[in-house]
Amino acid sequence: MGGCACATLLPSALFLGERNALAIAAAEKLDLPAKLKLAGIAIDTAKAGGASYADFRLCRYQTEYLECREHRLEESSAGVSAGFAVRVLLDGTWGYASSPLATEDEVRRVAARALEVAKASQPLQTRKFVLEDLPVYNDSWDMPMKADPFVVPSDEKIARMLAATEAALKAGANYATLSFAFVREEKFFASSSGSRIQQTRVRCMPDGEVTVVDEATGRFSSRASLAAPRGSGYDYILGYDFAGEFAKAAEQAHEKLKAKPVTPGKYDLVLDPTNLWLTIHESVGHPTELDRALGWEANFAGTTFCTPDKLGKLQYGSKLMNIVADRSQEGGLSTVGYDDDGVRAIGSEFHIIEDGVFKNYQMAIGQAQLIGQPRSNGCAFADSWDSFPIQRMPNVSLQPNPKPCSLDDLIGDVKHGIYIIGNNSWSIDQQRHNFQFSGQLFYEIRHGKLGPMLRDVAYQGSTVEFWNSLDGLGDKSTYFLGGAPNCGKGQPEQTAPVSHGAVPGLFRGVNVLNTERKDLS
Amino acid sequence: MILGRDDAQALTKKILALSKADSCCVSISGTEERYLRYAQNMATTAGSPSSLGITVESHFGMRTGSATGSDTDDDSLAALVAQSEQIAKLAPENPEFMPPIGPRKYVTGTGFSPATQAATSDMLAAAVKPVLQQAEAKSIQASGFVDIGTSFSSFGNSAGLFVYDQQSEVLHTVTVRTPDGTGSGWAGATHCDFSKIDIAGMGASAVDKAVRSQKPVRLDPGKYQVILDPSCVFDLMSWMISYFDQRSADEGRSFATKKGGGSRLGEQLFGKNVTLYSDPNDPLVPGTIYSDDGLPAQKQMWIEKGVLKNLQCSRYWAKKMKLNAVPSPTSLTLAGGTATTGDLIKQVKRGLLITRFWYIREVDPQTVLLTGLTRDGVFLIEDGAISKPVCNFRFNESPVAMLNKVVAMGPSVRAYGEESVGLPVAVPQLLVDDFTLSSVSDAV
């Protein structure tokens, strides 16, 4: 049984207390006995209709979104999205239906609709889905946090945001935006196997950018905030110096306007973890998803070069490369007790890449036996009450160098290279070979020392060649947890939040482009 | 969950009656969907989701707050209104606040199809079956997705405006891959009417491309004359329209910014053969009948014979700059020509036929430089005929620049690509000079 999350009380405004009381009252409309009763109706209806397996998910998402621009608040909104879904496996065919209306009659109707949908697809089911036996859990899990963002007054948040945008303007920016988005995700899961699981977690997602304009040349330049989205309480926001970062970003955006255009060619790259986390996401996280390897994403997200015959054999990267999947990392956007198939996720870390060798896929239920594995490793996720759970990424992180190594040590080992901070412009092919990434800030490295700022830098590579060029890695003192709130996959498309821990990496001989198009300027 | 016009209007009135704010806006929307997903020649998932959302925006003076929920009982509606009012009261004044607009006249919507609303899961499975049969007959693998949906949306406010619209959409996409892993073909289309979409025909097209794209040869990257299928043009136009913003141009951070200040409205920024517009009653791509703040969607020219005619402009920015407000488009059409695919191919001495793009992202907002990749079928054209399949490429190109290099075009058709911004889009197949392909991809 997970511990209950206790929010640190922050200064609260009277009105806000009232507002949040309303929101919380809405969120707690159904108590546990009511949820259990609805789950029983759904599962009984599914079983009576012939389903060999059924599950019921009732979810409620509480959201708050605030956006500031220059000196003003542009948007302040709150929301609750709630509903339930019934998923059935009928003679090896999946069926699924959902509704925002959580009443007993509607649960019966939706369960019957899920059976009807499954029955309709059966003529196309040339291979039946078979589910592994899974342990049964009766549990609850709440994300530990110090400060619940939904009890923090909006005026505290707005003041913090305006302090940042105004700091940027004071430091010479023409424009500055900063938004804070908060989500409280409450999920109740029940399966015909007997599991009954309640979970609550929270996400804090800051996003901002500073822009400077040179009217004489008609050029402009932006520097996005390096603040990562986190599965954390408001304590994360309190611990981040947005005003300091935005003032510095304004100076850096000015510097970018005057920076030297990069000369294209091969460079040794030192990738800051604020940049490398996204490269990990695209070139390691996605290729090692089993549903892609099985061809189930061929029509949208794509397949992968990382086919099952390469499991345990492919030298994916150099021996410095260790990538671990977890759902327990503090602050991780994928951190959760149980996945959306009801598989225990916390505490079941596994290596995807070990000493450079491809070791494990990420899996949801019904997949493992297709590659001779016993069971799912807890990587299912549905982004809403009305979405079908599919395989999504846990936190996928590059492990630090066990030997002492600082960022300066890495830079000191480069004769002719570039140090890249932050991410910007990312794209990779549908089998995850060819990628192109850019960044927020680029600095020349000459003979082991950082030089002047460069501009118009993007690096291109091919995944296995790139990771085998890894020749240096920061130690745990350089670790940074990046992440994305909106990774897209599946049809209908779902967006998943996922974190990636990283340390700075030194990659030898990477192809760098100059992205300026003089013919377009 | 679909509410009819009368139910949506009654719910809007009920919410407005609860409001104690100076002014109030109510947006309601809902969907009913059925979908079937298949891969490796079999069904993988199928579903029938339903949703409903109610957003209340309250204003006190220049303070604004909004709250969204999905419950329609009296207590929940009262809580929703109270929550939006409390948020508004706590918000600082927004100097850019614009009061709600009064009643407007709207065109009659043409994007709803009873045939789509009546379609069942059995009908989806029956429609997909021939696709799987074609693939099995050739021992190749088909994966795809068919999704049919009905949606409604309404917008009402305390100034007396109420507008309601209902839309239908059918989407089918299919990817076919050859067992040797060297060939892949794709087809995809949308329509508002389920009875008008040729799912089996799309399957046949994807099978044909997959077979013809097997064992591609590797060509050097560089600048090529290319024929872009409508799916590719859809992706580029969907990206480009988001840069058509008056405020960004006036603020100096847009491709449409004039050196020294101001926007480039009225300038010949594109080729004379380029016309881009929106029309909510375009028979190919009927759009929603209203846009931002309840403003009517109407025929709107963006580019006319290569001249930049309009940029999206909010009511606030229009007032400040003494311009007309230009709401966001609800559909998009790039006017086409008359050339067939065969006509276009005959004009190419050495170039490429590109059938699909993938994973497009911005590289430089100043020039609308984008990067992305080709996928599921690229073919070399030599001396006016397709000669062989070639490996995929990464491109680094700007649609703004590309629209200055259009040599010829086919008729505009309703298209679909992965970079959809939620608008129905009609575009032609284009023959374009000097398209920049920056590297080769090994992906198939």
Structure confidence by residue, pLDDT tens digits, B249-283: 999 999 999 988 899 999 999 999 999 999 999 99
pLDDT at residue number A30: 79
d(CA B177, CA B206): 9
Pairing of strands B63-69, B162-177: unpaired
- Tokens representing B306 are 């290569």
Confidence band (pLDDT; 50, 70, 90) for A491? Answer: very high
Give me the pLDDT at residue A521, please. Answer: 60
CB nearest to A100's CB, from B41, B70, B90 = B70
- Measuring CA to CA, which residue among A134, A173, A151, A145 is closest to residue A21? A151
Task: Mutate one of A75, A76, A305 to test the B interface: name it (highest B CB count within 10 A).
Answer: A76
Looking at residue B207, its amino acid is: V
Is A175–B122 a contact, with Cβ atoms under 8 angstroms apart? no
- What per-residue confidence (pLDDT) applies to B420? 87
| Chain B residues closer than 8 Å to A456 by CB | 364
Burial label, A217 (beta-carbon count in 10 A; 0-12, 13-18, 19+): exposed
Q: pLDDT digits over A254-294, tens only?
A: 999 999 999 999 999 999 999 999 999 999 999 999 999 99
In this predicted structure, the answer to whether residue B423 has a pLDDT above a threshold of 50 is: yes
Verify whether the Cβ–Cβ distance A430 to B45 is below 8 Å: no
Residue A72's H or E segment, with its range, is strand A72-90
Nearest to B45 among A96, A175, A433 (CB): A96
Cβ A269 vs Cβ A459: under 8 Å: yes
- Give the dihedral sign, CA A384/A387/A391/A392: negative
> Residue B182 gets which letter from DSSP?
S
Q: What is the pLDDT of residues B40-88, one digit of tens each?
A: 999 999 999 999 999 999 999 999 999 999 999 999 999 999 999 999 9
Number of other CB atoms surrounding residue A240 within 10 Å: 19
A62, A86, A101, A121, best to mutate vs chain B, most B CBs in 10 Å:
A121
- Chain B closest CA to A296's CA: distance in Å? 5
The burial of B365, by beta-carbon neighbours within 10 Å (0-12 exposed, 13-18 middle, 19 or more buried), is given as middle
Convert the pLDDT of each residue in B197-240 to its tens digit. Answer: 999 999 999 999 999 999 999 999 999 999 999 999 999 999 99
Min distance B107 CA to chain A CA atoms (Å): 30
> B51 vs A23: CB contact, 8 Å cut-off?
no
- The pLDDT of residue A216: 85
Q: How many residues appear in chain B?
A: 444
Helix (H) or strand (E) holding A267: strand A265-271
If 0-12 CB within 10 Å is exposed, 13-18 middle and 19+ buried, where does residue A204 land?
Answer: buried
Residue A19 in this model has a pLDDT that exceeds 50: no
Residue of A430, A437, A462 to mutate, interface with B, max B Cβ within 10 Å = A430
**Contact list, B251 vs chain A (CB under 8 Å):** 174-175, 213
Instruction: Give the H/E segment covering residue A24.
Output: helix A14-27
Residues of chain B above pLDDT 90, percent = 98
Predicted confidence (pLDDT) per residue in A160-205, tens digit: 999 999 999 999 999 999 999 999 999 999 999 999 999 999 999 9
Nearby residues of A338 by Cβ (< 8 Å), 6 or more positions away: A137, A139, A141, A189, A195, A197, A199, A344, A345, A346, A378
Angle B121-137/A104-121 helices, nearest 10 degrees?
A: 20
Alpha-carbon distance B15 to nearest alpha carbon in chain A (angstroms): 16
Q: How confident is the model at residue B371 (pLDDT cuts 50, 70, 90)?
A: very high
Which pLDDT value is given to residue A3?
A: 29
How far apart CA B293 and CA B290 sit, in angstroms, is 8
pLDDT at site A24: 43
Q: How far apart are CA A306 and CA A358, in angstroms?
A: 9
Q: What is the mean pLDDT of residues B416-434?
A: 94
Q: What is the pLDDT of residues A331-388, one digit of tens each?
A: 999 999 999 999 999 888 999 999 999 999 999 999 999 999 999 999 999 999 999 9
Give the number of A-B residue pairs with CB atoms closer than 8 Å: 303
- Report, as an integer, the average pLDDT of B164-179: 97
Q: Do A82 and A188 contact (CB within 8 A), yes or no?
A: no
Q: What percent of chain A has pLDDT over 70?
A: 94
Beta-carbon contacts of residue A110 (< 8 Å; ≥ 6 apart): A42, A84, A85, A86, A97, A98, A99
Tell whether the model's pLDDT for residue A25 goes beyond 50: no
ipTM: 0.95
- Mean pLDDT of all residues belonging to chain B: 97
Q: What is the pLDDT of residue B386?
A: 98
Q: Report pLDDT digits (tens) over A47-62.
A: 999 999 999 999 999 9
State the distance between the two ends of chain B, measured CA to CA, in whole angstroms.
40
Beta bridge partners of B178: none
CB contacts, 8 Å: A341 with chain B: none
Q: List for chain A the helix, strand, coil content (%; round to 5).
A: 25, 35, 35
Is residue A1 predicted with pLDDT exceeding 50?
no
Give the pLDDT of residue A517: 78
pLDDT in the model for residue A218: 86
**Is a pLDDT exceeding 70 seen at residue B127?**
yes
Query: Which chain B residues are closer than 8 Å to A121 by Cβ?
Result: 36, 43, 46, 121, 125
- Give the pLDDT band of residue A138 (cuts 50, 70, 90): very high
To the nearest whole percent, how much of chain B has pLDDT over 70?
A: 100
Which residues in chain B have their CB less than 8 angstroms from residue A295's CB? 39-40, 141, 143, 177
What pLDDT is stored for residue A486 in this prediction? 94
Strand order in the sheet with B300-304: B307-308, B300-304, B276-278, B332-334, B425-427, B413-415
Q: How far is CA B150 from CA A282, B49, B113, B191, in A?
A: 34, 11, 8, 12
Which are the contacts of A361, defined by CB distance < 8 A and separation ≥ 6?
A: A288, A289, A290, A293, A308, A311, A352, A371
Q: Is the peptide bond before B411 cis (omega within 30 degrees of 0)?
A: no
pLDDT at A519 over 90: no
Residue B100, SS3 per DSSP? coil
pLDDT tens-digit series, residues A393-414: 999 999 999 999 999 999 999 9
Nearest neighbour of A425 by CB, restricted to B44, B79, B363: B363
Predicted TM-score (pTM) of this structure: 0.95
Angstrom distance (rounded) from CA A109 to CA A117 = 12
The span from the first CA to the last CA of chain A, in angstroms, equals 60
